[in-house]
Amino acid sequence: MSNNGSINLSDFLNPPPVDQIGIEERVARLNKRSIKKNSKLSALKLALSMIDLTTLEGKDSKGKVRQLCNKALHLHDSFPDLPNVAAVCVYPPMVPTAVECLKESNVKVASVATAFPSGMTTLQTKLSEVRRVVRMGADEVDMVISRGAFLRGEYHLVFDEIASVKEACGEAHLKVILETGELYSLDNVRLASGIAIGAGADFIKTSTGKIQPAATQPVALVMMQAIRDHYFKTGKKVGLKPAGGISDAKTAIQYLVLLKETLGVEWLTPDLFRFGASSLANDLLMQILKQANGVYQSANYFSKD
């Protein structure tokens, strides 16, 4: 940080190097945590509460979005004391539908924006899209960074773009998608995390879900370390959203272990951690019921929306 306390890009341009093998070893070690009994049940419920229930397909319809919102509001009504998911995440044209369905609830509406998933359009178009979804009632905006600019080394461009989008968001929360599957190295993930955090991201997010690999635990761990370093330096908490490919309860719990042992219990909240997922909710529900009544479950008993 510069002396006058304002944030400059240069503060984030020389992050510590990341050792891939070390990161993978750390993840492997944390994956060995054995989460049983009560701790498993509370983890499952916590994970459920952190889900951004997502549908991001070209064939999405209002009907599909309404179904999804219904699912968000009625996860499995026959089982008491289940938390809500955190948000429903949709394409911009679907924002009004989602806002309408969820207006009586505390489930947030998140919208992807900035020419998701590629980000291949002008800044002006991106900003007007962001302003539009916010105006339509989106609580949260999931933007993508310009990977092309990043990989060309034009970090200032990436930084400025995020800062502009943040400004355009107004009160809405900004999640910045790094699309780590296109960044190629953990060093780049670390650098991009710093740039996004520096430019004002409320959350940093791994992936659009449209590119493989989507979220991986090593990538998430590196992003957590970037968040932690920022916290150590400034006291400010930035959230994390791994998205794409997290479809079972076991993996979700592994992410929560990574989170708890890297950023601590203050991050164990939907305010600072989200899963971008669609099928994860049902697997969590099946596991919760298994924990409660001791019987392995079948997918046929859980609504697929």
Partner 1 sequence: MVTKEKLIDFNSVWEYSPAPESTDHVKLDDKYDLFINGEFVSPKSRKYFWTENPATGKKIAKVAEASKADVNSAVKAARTAYDKYWSKMPASERSKYIFRIARIMQERSRELSVIESLDGGKPIRESRDVDIPLASAHFFYYAGWADKLDYAFPGRKTRALGVAGQIIPWNFPLLMAAWKIAPALATGNTVVLKPAETTPLTAMKLAEIIQEADLPPGVVNIIPGAGETGKAIVNHPGLDKIAFTGSTVVGKYIQKTLAGTGKKYSLELGGKAANIIFEEADLDQAVEGIINAIFFNQGHVCCAGSRLLIQEGIADEIINKLKNRMETLIIGDPLDKNTDIGAINSKAQLKRINELVSAGIDEGGTIYQPTCALPKSGYWFKPTLFTDVSQSHRIVQEEIFGPVLAIQTFRTVDEAIEKANNTPYGLSGGVWTDKGSKVFKVTKQINAGVIWANTFNKFDPTSPFGGYKESGMGREGGLHGLLPYVELI
Partner 2 sequence: MKKRLEVLKTYKIYIGGKFPRTESGRYYLLEGKNKKPLANICRGSRKDFRNSVVAARKAFSGWSGRTAYNRGQILYRIAEMLEGRREQFVSELILQGDSAAKAEKEVNISIDRFIYYAGWSDKYIQLFSSVNPVASPHFNFSVPEPTGVVTMIAPEESGLLGLISVIAPVIVGGNTCVVLASHSKPLCAVSFAEVLHSSDVPGGVVNMLTGFRSELLDNFSTHMDVNAVIYCGDDKKEGKRVMENSSLNVKRPHIINTKDWTKEKAQDPYQILDTQEIKTTWHPIGI
Candidates 132, 263, 241, 134; CA nearest to 196 is 241
**Residue 20 beta carbon to partner 2: minimum distance, rounded to whole angstroms:** 3
Residue 59 found at the interface with partner 1 (CB under 8 A) = no
With beta carbons less than 8 A apart as the criterion, state whether 38 and 44 touch.
no
**Residue 226 beta carbon to partner 2: minimum distance, rounded to whole angstroms:** 18
Q: SS3 for 210?
A: coil
From 21-29, 104-112, 158-166, 191-199, give the range in contact with partner 2 by CB under 8 A.
21-29
Interacting residues of 133 by C-beta distance below 8 A, sequence separation 6+: 92, 95, 111, 113, 141, 172
Nearer to partner 2, 21 or 295 (CB): 21
Among 20, 125, 279, 303, binds partner 2 (CB under 8 A): 20
Nearer to partner 1, 20 or 125 (CB): 20
From 4-12, 13-21, 74-82, 253-261, give the range in contact with partner 2 by CB under 8 A.
13-21
Question: Which of the residues 173 through 192 are near partner 2 (CB under 8 A)?
Answer: 185-186
Residue 250 found at the interface with partner 1 (CB under 8 A) = no
Question: In this structure, what are the phi and psi dihedrals at residue 91, rounded to the nearest 5 degrees?
Answer: -75, 155
Residue 125 found at the interface with partner 2 (CB under 8 A) = no
Helix axes 249-263, 217-234, angle to 10 degrees: 30
Nearer to partner 1, 60 or 231 (CB): 231
Candidates 144, 139, 138; CA nearest to 92 is 138
With beta carbons less than 8 A apart as the criterion, state whether 38 and 292 touch.
no
Nearer to partner 2, 39 or 185 (CB): 185
Question: DSSP code of 176?
Answer: E
Binding mask 24-43 for partner 1 (x = CB under 8 A): -xx-----xxxxxxxxx-xx
**Residue 151 beta carbon to partner 2: minimum distance, rounded to whole angstroms:** 15
Candidates 260, 302, 258, 255; CA nearest to 281 is 302
How many residues bind partner 2, per CB under 8 A?
A: 7
> Catalytic residue positions?
142, 205, 241
Q: SS3 for 146?
A: coil
Among 21, 37, 80, 212, binds partner 2 (CB under 8 A): 21
Question: In this structure, what are the phi and psi dihedrals at residue 200, rounded to the nearest 5 degrees?
Answer: 115, 15
Residue 207 to residue 251: CA distance in whole angstroms: 16
Residue 28 found at the interface with partner 2 (CB under 8 A) = no
The residue ranges that bind partner 2 (CB under 8 A) are 19-22, 24, 185-186
